[in-house]
Chain A
Amino acid sequence: MLNLEQVSFQYPGAKAGVSDVTLKVEPGELVAVIGASGSGKTTLLNLLAGFLMPDTGRVVIDDKDVSAMPPERRDLGIVFQSYGLFPHMRAWENVAYPLKVRGVALAERRTRAIEALERVGMGNRSDNGPRELSGGQQQRVALARALVFEPRGLLLDEPLSALDANLRVEMRDEILRVQRAAGIAALLVTHDQEEALSIADRVAVMRDGRLVQIAPPRELYDNPADEAIARFVGEANLWPSRVVGEGSIETPVGRLACDTKGHATGTKTIALVRPENVIPLGPDATGQVNAFAGEVMADRFLGSTRRIDLAVGEGTIRLETRIRDAIGGVAIPPDAIRLLSPSQQAN
């Protein structure tokens, strides 16, 4: 179990760092940490890894306080963004290295290294040097190396960012499969929110060094804590709005019927509608709730879907649809509308 308890850290002479972060990753669980550049997500990983020591708070691994321990004594497997395979060692020697430093005999460590390579589909490349391997293959070797010594936790620092799109999806599944098989706590740091949503059990969102929300992917996507998170996680229509009565809000695109429970009349809010929840209507459609006619400003073909920006009133409604016919208007189901508190960090 990986545990950060009210951890704060500030880089000397800088404002950047993390502040009062509490985060627990259970055995077998994969938590992804996302956030913009400089939000503190890599600092969080470095604090867990032991490359940084917290100013206050505790880093606890399997109920043991490791806050002041150097990385070599924390027993965590780490997959780095650049893989970090030692260029003067062959693939199996790289994987065997953590066993070597633990005093495992040569024959045993070779056997275990080759078994670990086989688990990630690299058994036939064990004698190759890192320079003879592609990015994806190096990534697999790095993953095997991080797990071969049965660490207490796995830390993944943007492990897929250097791979091309197809390989990224393949490796994403591979990481998840291997982590699940190992049954250890894993923390994935990534700037790719799609990657985080697709493999994590829970997603933690960092902003300005603070952990602003942690939730399962679906909950985070459907019920973001504020406007900035909604903007950061997935595509979103976000309209400044005002509650004008029970079940009714005023937005730049017009008046919308929705659930306003918990918001008094006159309250300023942000209305969130995900583009895929907007229903496209034909030119002659009538009788729908929250139906609007508009002018198509942009129509992007994305393969399986289209992303359309429709000018309505004084605003724009973005929708994503599989329909390929002409669109004259849209309807927004009331239950697809979430009212969020405005966030000062939103831009």
Chain B
Amino acid sequence: MLLVTVFYLIFLAAPILLLLMGSFGETWSNTLLPQGFTGRWYADIAADPSFRRAFITSLQVVAATCALNVIVGLPLAYAIHSAANRGVRFAARLAALMPVAAPELVLAFGFILVFSSDTLPWLGSFWLLVAAHLVLTLPYSVTTLLADMEQMRLADYEGVAASLGASFSQRARDIIVPLLGASLTSSLLTVAALSIGEFQISNLISGFLSRPYPVVLLQAFYGATGFACAATVVLLVLATVASIASSLTARATAGGRTA
């Protein structure tokens, strides 16, 4: 059992470790491990205008996707949570989760079909990319928020606040948003991690000037190995930081509830 676990961990960590070593290796061809040590691949990435633009685009897409998740996801989760009718709740939940079930390729083809027409000629635009990322990430933020709303008995607290004289806007300001703060942060960090690493749909619908980092990363593999490794490590670090932060805030939310 221990042996299997060790092998599994090696299998999991080996590519990441090799990428890390490769990103600092001077040369790496026909050898098991890279030769020499250099930081120039990272300097090359920083100096490359297409990578710089893609990096900034990715951060902009992530920021816009997170903002839209708050603007759309929070009210949507609240509406599903508050729906009195069980059938409506189930249907809304199903619709919100649909993008998880549909393959990304199918979604991308849908976007291409709809937004390459003369009526809606937005294929390749920045905001269409953001919209696609929103569709992909919304189920995760809505699911997280819904689970937390139910677990923390948000409806009960709202009822209490209403009985004390608070209007809906006062309840939203004083009760709903503060209680959901940690949950919202956690779900947004998950959204950020997903959005940073998203490749399939971005590759098919982004334009030349709106390509996010993972799409440009693909080009790196046609060049020097060290450059490709360094470019991948940059993406990995970004996604890992977002994932760890998400896990930590999720734990803090759960800890806050049980304390």
Contact = CB atoms under 8 A, between A and B. Distances in A.
B159 A101 contact: no
Contacts of A73: 165
A72 B175 contact: no
A86 B165 contact: no
Nearest to B166: A101
A87 B163 CA distance: 17
A233 interface: no
A101 B167 contact: yes
Contacts of B178: 88
B162 A70 contact: yes
B170 interface: yes
A51 B178 CA distance: 23
B37 interface: no
Given A87-B179, A101-B164, A101-B167, A82 B156 contact: yes
A149 B164 contact: yes
B235 to A, nearest CB: 36
A185 interface: no
Contact of A80 (B156, B166, B259): B156
Contact of B165 (A49, A84, A87, A102): A102
A98 interface: yes
A71 B157 contact: no
B121 to A, nearest CB: 47
A73 B179 CA distance: 24
B163 A101 contact: no
A188 interface: no
A303 to B, nearest CB: 37
Contacts of B163: 49-50, 71-72, 74, 76-78
B165 A88 contact: no
B259 A72 contact: no
A97 interface: yes
B18 to A, nearest CB: 46
B169 to A, nearest CB: 10
Contacts, number: 59
How many chain B residues sit at the interface, stated as a range, is: 10 to 19
Nearest to B164: A98
A106 to B, nearest CB: 14
Contacts of B256: 87
Contacts of B157: 84, 86
A131 interface: yes
A145 interface: yes
B167 A71 contact: no
A84 B160 contact: yes
Interface string B66-90: 0000000000000000000000000
A261 B179 CA distance: 64
A102 B166 CA distance: 8
B161 interface: yes
Contact of A86 (B159, B167, B175, B259): B175
Interface in A201-221: none
Contacts of A75: 165
Interface in B238-259: 256, 259
A51 B166 CA distance: 14
Contacts of B174: 97, 100-101
A111 B166 CA distance: 20
A139 to B, nearest CB: 14
Contact of A97 (B153, B156, B161): B161
Nearest to A145: B164
Contacts of A51: 159
Contacts of A97: 161, 164, 166, 174
Nearest to A78: B163
Interface in A40-99: 49-51, 70-78, 80, 82, 84, 86-88, 97-98
Contacts of B164: 72, 97-98, 101, 145, 149
Interface in A285-320: none
A72 B167 contact: yes
Nearest to B159: A51
A71 B168 CA distance: 11
Contacts of A50: 162-163
Contacts of A74: 163
B160 A72 contact: no
A143 to B, nearest CB: 13
Given A75-B165, A97-B174, 11 more contacts: A71-B163, A72-B167, A80-B160, A84-B156, A84-B157, A86-B175, A86-B179, A87-B256, A98-B166, A101-B164, A101-B166
Interface of A: 49-51, 70-78, 80, 82, 84, 86-88, 97-98, 100-102, 131, 145, 149
Across chains A and B, which 6 residue pairs bring their CB atoms closest together, nearest first? A84-B160, A98-B164, A71-B162, A78-B163, A101-B166, A72-B162
28 contacts: A70-B162, A71-B163, A72-B163, A72-B164, A72-B165, A72-B166, A72-B167, A78-B160, A80-B156, A80-B159, A82-B156, A84-B159, A84-B160, A86-B175, A86-B179, A87-B179, A88-B178, A88-B179, A97-B164, A97-B174, A100-B174, A101-B161, A101-B165, A101-B170, A101-B174, A102-B165, A149-B164, A149-B165
